Amino acid sequence: MRFTDTTDLATWRQTVREFVATNWKRGRVIDEDDNPLGEAQQDEGRVKEWLDTLGNNGWIAPAWPKKYGGADMSPLEQFVLSQELTGAGAPTSRQMLNLVGPTIMLHGTEEQRLEHLRPMLKGEVAWCQGFSEPGSGSDLASLQTRAVRDGDDYVVNGQKIWTSGAHRADWIFMLARTDPDAPKHRGISYLLMNMKSPSISVRPLINLAGTHIFNEVFFEDVRVPVRNRIGEENRGWYVGTTTLDFERSNVARVVNIKKQVGRLGRYVQARAGSDSGVPAAYRMELTDRAVETAVCELLSFEVVSIQARGGVPNMEASMNKMFGSELQQRVDATAMHLTGLAGQFREPAGLEGEHRIRAANNYMLSVPATIAAGTSEIQRNIIATRGLGLPRG
């Protein structure tokens, strides 16, 4: 593992920075950190134009082969690209592309790749993920949504929950039980379903921050062509774990946390010596967050180093996800402590301009961070069994 750029990577980093300055930051007069909620609150037209420009360069899915719209980048080149785009507050991808796209690339047929990958890159179709169910979240393999073979179709019945973006999605990638008599991990198939199919119902779930991201989705005799199955029948669990590994390898998270910690540090410095100065205990708390951010960065380096060697991070992805999501919650709690009463408002008076910190909103949004993509308890089990070789309890 190396912590500095090679000459080639340094040149590539400068190329990305110049591209960002020309295509994203040009004419921008406010700090990108003013928008901690990300792409959803940014100007849709500007975001679309930016993502189209990225796509024309092959930079939305840079590690994909050029024949599918990628740029054949190495993992290290992709890591630098993600660092620079995230650091600039620029959108880096389209919804769910980095989950279902690589899964189709690895496990799909050539026909499926040609059908789905380019429209996904161009933003012509939006995707959502149908994994969790009301009784099957942490124990995902206990899912009960059924897919019964009927000729060239599966007939799907059941319910999914916490389905991000389902109200805007054109397609859903999902896990369904195709053999109820098999051991629970071995009777599941991975399906791609058109959300415009008859008998699909989507109901909104409003989160703690008052925004509509999640949904519950109901399926009543929905027909899915067998050709839309990814991988073998009843072997979908192992395809699904590929998707989860990509979801848990989020290397952009630490860049955003690092920016947030730096912003809080500048806020503390500005308050130093004033009557409303930050108490020493909270300053020490922020110091702890800065140290933990450095640890999180090392975990991200470990993930990309494994990818650069041609490996697939598994336990390491779980370590990165667990530590990063728990750190995000601690950082947001620290922001609440530092900003005091002012930070408890959704639009915090007295924290405008350079020190605009939406502590309360970020805190509420971070609550599900240790649940999404697998709870911290699940990640600890993966680390224990697959990483440390400990027996299952």
Active-site residues, by number, are: 247
Quote the CA–CA distance of 213 and 40 in Å, as a whole number.
10
The Cα-based distances of 343 to 16, 80, 210, 334 in angstroms read 35, 33, 17, 11
Under 8 Å between Cβ of 50 and 90 = yes
Buried residues in 119-137 as b, exposed as e (16+ CB within 10 A):
ebbebeebbbbbbbbeebb
Quote the CA–CA distance of 51 and 64 in Å, as a whole number.
16
Interacting residues of 365 by C-beta distance below 8 A, sequence separation 6+: 37, 207, 208, 209, 332
Quote the CA–CA distance of 316 and 306 in Å, as a whole number.
9
Burial class (CB in 10 A: 0-12, 13-18, 19+), 96: buried
